[in-house]
Structure 1
Amino acid sequence: MKTMRFFIWMFGFVSLSLSAFSQTSRAYLLQEADEYFKAGRYWDAFFRYRECAKLPEFESESKISEQVTNSSHAMYLTQKFKDYNAMRKYEPAKTNLIELISMNPNDPNRGELPKITLAQGAELQRLAWRQNTPQATADMLKRAIMFYHQAIREGLMDESIAVTIKQCEASIKDTGVPDNAPIMASDPAQNSKTTVTSAQSLAPVASPRKASATPPTVIILPSEQGSSTTKEN
């Protein structure tokens, strides 16, 4: 009898131990998924969260289903950011990256944000000298300076940025435009296109000629040589 009780006690103890071990192991799966997401390994995080969502002890965890969706969306944002950045479409690249960082502040691509801002400033500085007027050139250089300062605020520590800003300021003086003059055009190319469109819309357009409802009158005039000619009114 004592032997039977001992075996029953041992069986219960082993069952509880296995259950506790199983729960500990499954809790580790969720922790692992969180670490994957934090490290930007969204593919691994997606499948680990989905695996956890199938376990009974996590059925009440709404966070897991949300993280399955977040992991999928983070993969999408990462790919869009990389594609736009490779094509040098900096504005949409930055938009996707900012949304990605808002989901995961530890995303490994977060350091690319000030670099994109720096590239935006460099592009404006390069295009400034292609403008048709000194005002447009100065405006674009001022916008480039704004991007350079923003890159510094975003955490980019590079001594060459200060040198570049001074070069832009010197170039603005060369244009002869006062430093305190307001920026007239945020996008000279777009404004130029708008001006052309407006001019075209204001240009007079000839209306199509309408056919007369009254038929023309034909007059037969006598000719000196006996022949006749016709004349239309």
Structure 2
Amino acid sequence: MKTILIADDDKNIRELIKYPLIETGYDVIEAVNGEQALALAEQQLPDLVVIDIMMPLKDGYEVARTIRAERDIPLIMLTAKGELANKAEGFLAGIDDYMTKPFATAELLFRIKALFRRYDLSHETTVEVGNLVIDRRTYAVTHQQTDIFLPLKEFELLYELASHPGWVYTREDLISRIWGAAYEGNDRTVDVHIKRLREHLGENTAVAIVTMRGLGYKLEVIV
């Protein structure tokens, strides 16, 4: 059973989150300030942390930075501060996702499950999809015993898309995951790399990177 730490000085928010998590099958521990959050993160070793920004003693950014420096676990920032600068600071501190208050508890649960899936996959080094084998240790892509050589960003794009066949990624999603939240270039760079990736894969592989008009991209297995 996975354990989730909720770090928020607002008791009502903690209870709003806690009971649906318990009903879903998670163990829950609570912190009322930043220092307690860090102590519990070290002592209880939670599998995921939900962090508020504005907390006594240490704010959510410092909590996120400290946890991220010590452990590779999912971090969700849940806060009333929805400005772009606050989100950027959160991602730079190492968070994986960001939700603003007020929020739907059901959406938070969906995001938690998605983060657990992503982290579970992140410990795998090889993805097999269609007739491709993608090895993150060696950055090798093999198609029917033949190697396909990809530049780094194209490899990372393929690995991300192939890790979740059928998922639709927006350009913003891919920028954040592949280039990082601090990237300042145009998100059309994703289109350029997708075009090159398609050229590298050619027409004989049993996968296709599909453009979802107005949304982004997804990888499909061709039957």
Provide TM-score, normalisation by structure 2. Answer: 0.28
Greater strand fraction, Structure 1 or Structure 2: 2
Larger Rg: 1
Higher relative contact order (CA 8 A, sep 6+): 2
Structure holding more helix per residue? 1
